[in-house]
Amino acid sequence: MKEKTQIPYYLGIDAGSSSVGWAVTDTMYHVLKTKGKAMWGVRLFPDASTAAERRTHRAARRRLQRRKQRLDILEMLFAPALNEKDPQFLARMHESDLWQEDKSINSKYSLFSDSNFNDCDYHAQYPTTYHLRSELAHSTDSHDVRLVYLALHHLMKSRGHFLYEISETSDNDSSLRDKFDDFCTLLSDAYGLDFVPHNMDNYLNILKTPNMRVTKKAALLTKV
């Protein structure tokens, strides 16, 4: 059997973010061939993705799950009063996004179906849910439990955010100190302990430290 002649060769690889190129040459950088085909080529593949997109989707799933839990708890608390006032109110609300023929309740209205108050009257009186929330917040009169539920449902579903900036003033320091005092009082009442920190300033300084993770603040607070 005839042995194959071994000749020196170079293997070059060019690795990119979405491709890998390769070539085999002799010592004079001429591309070698095998079975009549040049030994060079490129392999393409999709760009690598960072964890940012997956993290965003994961956070969105958790946010939606927490929102659903809040609304389920709200409905559970209000269900007895709502069923007493209008046994079909929650069912109409749940099916408000369905076509009429897909609904289990034969009603053309999605929320209110009283003889003297229906959806048309509701939207004429409250063009948006914010109008309803404003009236409930400023009025001292009693209102239909269904209106109260709709306002709270809107609050629990669209809570907004709390990412506003707080200026570092003495008033804010005083407010934080007062809130911390209230927190200590609640702990004392709840657990029957005399929770009165002697180094309150150290607690407050840690709590007010900007650009510090919550886990690090918690670790520092346990050492105070």
- pLDDT tens over the chain, length 224 residues: 456 667 899 999 999 888 999 999 999 999 999 888 999 999 998 876 777 777 777 877 888 888 899 899 999 999 999 999 999 999 898 888 888 788 888 888 889 988 899 989 999 999 989 899 999 999 889 999 999 999 999 988 876 554 444 444 444 555 777 777 777 776 666 666 666 666 777 888 888 888 888 888 888 878 77
CA angle 167, 170, 174 (to 5 degrees): 110
C-alpha dist (Å) from residue 1 to 6, 7, 34, 36, 147:
15, 19, 20, 22, 95
From 33, 35, 43, 36, select the one nearest 13 (Cα to Cα).
43
Query: Quick one: pLDDT at residue 17?
Result: 81
Query: Quick one: pLDDT at residue 167?
Result: 44
Distance CA 221, CA 204 (A): 10
Query: Quick one: pLDDT at residue 210?
Result: 80
**200: exposed, middle or buried (C-beta count within 10 Å: 0-12, 13-18, 19+)?**
middle
Q: Are strands 19-25 and 33-34 parallel, antiparallel or unpaired?
A: unpaired
Question: Could you tell me the residue ranges of all domains in the chain?
Answer: 10-44, 60-157, 170-223
From 216, 215, 94, select the one nearest 153 (Cα to Cα).
94
Distance CA 11, CA 77 (A): 72
